[in-house]
Structure 1
Amino acid sequence: MPDPDASVVVPARDEGDHLERTLDALAAQRFDGRLEVIAVASGETTISVAREHPIVDRVLIDDRRAGPGPARNRGTTVADGDVLLFTDADTVVPPTWVRRHYRHYATPGVVGVGGPLRPLEAGIRHRACFRLLSDWWYRACWPLGFVQQPGPNCSVRRTAFEAIDGFDESLGFLEDTDLSLRLSREGTVVYDHTCPVETSARRQERVGYARLFLCYLVGYLEYAAPDRSPTRDHFR
């Protein structure tokens, strides 16, 4: 069988109640190329859901449970696509998601793509805060060179990902921002505002938007510090 054109890696830690919805969305992709899906799973129920879903090509057991960065890296070690896409197990992508990301790589200098996040949960507060923090914030920062591909909605060109050694596994926070900034040294990282995904606001409901914003602000300041140490696990 020919190698896939694109590979989707889904880290899934104890997401047995949500993973099937994510995989159903990947099964509904309208993509003309060859697509493979790799789940990096932990938790008995989560592993079972991943193994039983027909869209999943490979299930890797996440014995380390060290976070999304290491899980994504592990998934890429068995992925065969020229374009690597990442989403999360509490996220629902639209049917054109893979196609919209993939089209950008027709431009040789493009090494990465990111898009906005929308809340799965209903409510004006969630919609407004997501629009501000997970779309307009990116639109404002991207032209300044502060590119931040969100983990649930990003993709990379494999050769560039390998050139920068993937996600920095020493980081417990902002690993997706760190990847984006290092990736931008290899070429162009595109922000596609027409390609949103819907993701759970569980963390925002548990932590609160004000505290979440403060955590990110502190994380950015730590990241900019000479020792670059945003290693605290802010959200567990």
Structure 2
Amino acid sequence: MEKGVATVATVADGLPPSFRTGNCRPEGRITPIFVLETTVRYMVSASVVVPARDEGARLEATLDSLSAQRFDGDLDLEVIVVASGTETIAAAREHAVVDRVLCDESGSRSDEFGDGPEKTALGPARARNRGAKQASGDVLCFTDADTVVPPTWVRDHCRHYRNATVVGVGGPLEPLEPGLRHRVCFRLLSDWWYRLSWPLGFVQQPGPNCSVRRTAFERVGGFDESLPFLEDTDLSLRLRREGEGIYDRECAVRTSVRRQEREGYGRLFLTYARGYLAYLLPGRSPPATYF
């Protein structure tokens, strides 16, 4: 991935002050200069965490896209699926690209109604945190089980972490299914909205297309499992305290439009708007019915 060229010069003792760049003939005698050029590769380890709840049919396409990732050999990649549902667990275990399957049969749904102090809301935050805890990568990439990523997705995310100040990366979403209405609405709501909001400080790394530096993720405590909704926005805003977030408009993924078709873009937009307001107001958080 990142390559640096290190030049090592060994100069014999007694090189006189009259030596000038490009002139290896100082007065009196020739002093040899031996130059060794070597390429230094900076290895990056990345882990992809995929939460999958009853997604057996769709998960295979997601994993196929991860198995098609292209990089230069200086990237160590692992894939972790946090799966619930018999069909989903089987699909994850059977796919060659998956390094580890974490079974989550208890699910967040039952935890939502629990009586214990660690009650968890309905949402993917719990599964993402569980996968991240088991991951070994320096960079944690997150996508969803109904999402297809391009062949350079991991590489495109990881290249931003050459800059030590970068702690998170997000990119746009595109519709997996065809249709002009979907393309236009996704461009407005899942691309241009991010382009406008990020410079204003309202950073949002979308869950199906985001990555974080592991050390920063651990410092902020990962995803907030009490949030059933906007857990990716919440993480992005907390990460701002740790460093820089990058919105890579060229690093798009394609994700399912089934929720948009089920609820409609207008209703979904109002749901998100109300959710943002509830999140931003002190002491408020979106209810579980928003997810």
Tell me the TM-score normalized by structure 1: 0.97
Structure-to-structure mapping, 1:44-83, within 5 angstroms? 44-66=86-108, 67-83=123-139
CA distance in 2, matches of 1:231, 1:140: 27
Q: Does 1:217 align with 2:287?
A: no
In structure 1, the partner of 2:52 is 12
Q: Select the structure that is richer in strand.
A: 2
Note the residue ranges of structure 1 that are not aligned, 5 or more in a row.
none
Q: Does 1:162 align with 2:218?
A: yes
CA distance in 2, matches of 1:136, 1:169: 28
Deviations 1:89-140 (A, max 9, x none): 0000000000000000000000000000000010000000000000000000
Residue 141 of structure 1 deviates from its aligned partner by 0.3
Aligned AA (1:207):
E
Residue 4 of structure 1 deviates from its aligned partner by 7.0
In structure 2, the partner of 1:129 is 185
Aligned AA (2:92):
A
Residue 62 of structure 1 deviates from its aligned partner by 1.1
C-alpha contact 1:170 1:231 (8 A) present in aligned 2: no
CA distance in 2, matches of 1:228, 1:30: 43
CA distance in 1, matches of 2:289, 2:209: 21
User: SS at the partner of 1:34?
Assistant: strand
Aligned AA (1:42):
S
Identity of aligned residues (%): 71
Residue 22 (structure 1) aligned to one of 32, 49, 62:
62
C-alpha contact 1:148 1:181 (8 A) present in aligned 2: yes
Which one has more relative contact order, counting CA pairs under 8 Å at least 6 apart? 1
Residue 167 (structure 2) aligned to one of 111, 116, 130:
111
In structure 1, the partner of 2:240 is 184
Note the residue ranges of structure 2 that are not aligned, 5 or more in a row.
1-42, 109-122
Residue 185 of structure 1 deviates from its aligned partner by 1.1
Residue 54 of structure 1 deviates from its aligned partner by 0.4
Residue 63 of structure 1 deviates from its aligned partner by 2.7
Aligned residues: 233
CA distance in 1, matches of 2:289, 2:138: 32
In structure 1, the partner of 2:261 is 205
In structure 2, the partner of 1:153 is 209
**4+ long deviations beyond 2 Å:** none
User: SS at the partner of 2:167?
Assistant: strand
Deviations 1:59-89 (A, max 9, x none): 0011332121100000011100000000000
C-alpha contact 2:80 2:101 (8 A) present in aligned 1: yes
User: SS at the partner of 2:260?
Assistant: helix
Deviations 1:130-167 (A, max 9, x none): 00000000000000000000000000000000000000
CA distance in 2, matches of 1:127, 1:85: 25
User: SS at the partner of 1:17?
Assistant: helix
C-alpha contact 1:4 1:36 (8 A) present in aligned 2: no
CA distance in 2, matches of 1:31, 1:55: 15
